[in-house]
Structure 1
């Protein structure tokens, strides 16, 4: 892994997630990452974010007017010069829950690491809830999207599918240890029908829990399925990790 500063990146736009998500994410990183780091939130709203977090603007995608861009914002983390940041960046979604030492995410060798898709593991597509790269190293991925956005948006379902393919084409795509990033939906909720009497649990070897779909950490903590057919029991242990 290249040397230099360790930068934790997250991104918050709009009002879906309040500042408490950023603040709790910072607190979890502080508890679980050994040594120094910078914590940067790319955002359009910095109100309520704790002082230890550097709030910087989300770079514009610079697409033509009228082109939907919200689902592709993460690609701006690959600006050639992202607010002058240097070193190695670990991007984390706001709604993850860190449950164990995350220092190894900066220690495993590789140019670009991402979660391997759980649902369709035969595909190269990664889940971009957690990815690591050298700042400024993949500006070509963003530049290509800006040039060929119409074709890319037709060919790829979302940002993580395009990102995975683009890095794969360069021969630099690698995946985290399968145990490290666990899906709450797939790995923490017991299989049917035992989900009706067994509470969700932290899988062996998990370091970060990923909340994708309709349940976020506060929903899982209280046992709100929000329509998910798995209908988990409450997971009160989330409060032991997801707090400031």
Structure 2
């Protein structure tokens, strides 16, 4: 499994991730690249949009995060992913699969580039009647949805009042355009909801990888290193170590 960053790959497959600030160190990018390399066949570009490239492995192309262009003083946190929809994203072309830094890939992700659909995202696990997707994993044609970002910039004050974050906003816009689709439910599981055994069995059963899972999503208070060691920020719910994370979450 190889990668390439030459012009011939510009119309091919691009893995996108984003890192800003200091919450996630370069090891998250490096391990994400390692997981993709092991689980995606053929050529691809791996691009990290970031404000800090120190320590990131050489196979990763580090490019600046585009300016969200919010009024001065307003926080961009919760909205930065919308910049992946720039009409000209650093000259990149092709189909992009965006992955959050803290996911764990457990099986082949070739299918994420093969599944039909114009824009694909994880469907909400807890409230499946909503259109809102979870943007830990989404796929799109680079430059094809510049109108989503343009609409946010034009209506950002109203959008920030109406929607909690970028995934709620983009899901609503693309749903109204008839372009929103979802991954098969079993492909992306929540560590919090699907891997941790229910009470009281969480006291003696180890967290699992549900059948059909290809990417484990970490949201809330637990990240991969916490799950590996059995740590939770909420002390009232015990969870055992998940040693299988070490098999996948590595460079």
Q: TM-score, normalised by structure 1?
A: 0.98
**Cα deviation, residue 231, structure 1:** 2.3
Other-structure match for 2:174: 167
Matches within 5 A, 1:112-123: 112-123=119-130
Other-structure match for 1:144: 151
SS at match of 2:154: helix
Output the CA distance in 1 between the equivalents of 2:128 and 2:235.
22
Q: Is 1:187 aligned to 2:194, yes or no? A: yes
Other-structure match for 1:7: 14
Which runs of 5 or more residues in structure 1 are unaligned? none
Output the CA distance in 1 between the equivalents of 2:236 and 2:21.
28
8 Å CA contact retained: 1:189, 1:230 = no
* Cα root mean square deviation, aligned: 1.0
Which runs of 5 or more residues in structure 2 are unaligned? 1-9
Output the CA distance in 2 between the equivalents of 1:213 and 1:83.
31
8 Å CA contact retained: 1:97, 1:217 = yes
* 4+ long deviations beyond 2 Å: 228-231
Q: Is 1:71 aligned to 2:78, yes or no? A: yes
SS at match of 1:90: strand
SS at match of 1:82: coil
Other-structure match for 2:111: 104
SS at match of 1:7: strand
SS at match of 2:78: helix
- Which one of 48, 51, 59 corresponds to residue 66 of structure 2? 59
Instruction: Write out per-residue CA displacement over residues 132-184 of structure 1, whole angstroms, 9 at most, x where no aligned residue.
Output: 00000000000010010000000001110001001101101000000000000
Q: TM-score, normalised by structure 2?
A: 0.95
Output the CA distance in 1 between the equivalents of 2:129 and 2:121.
15
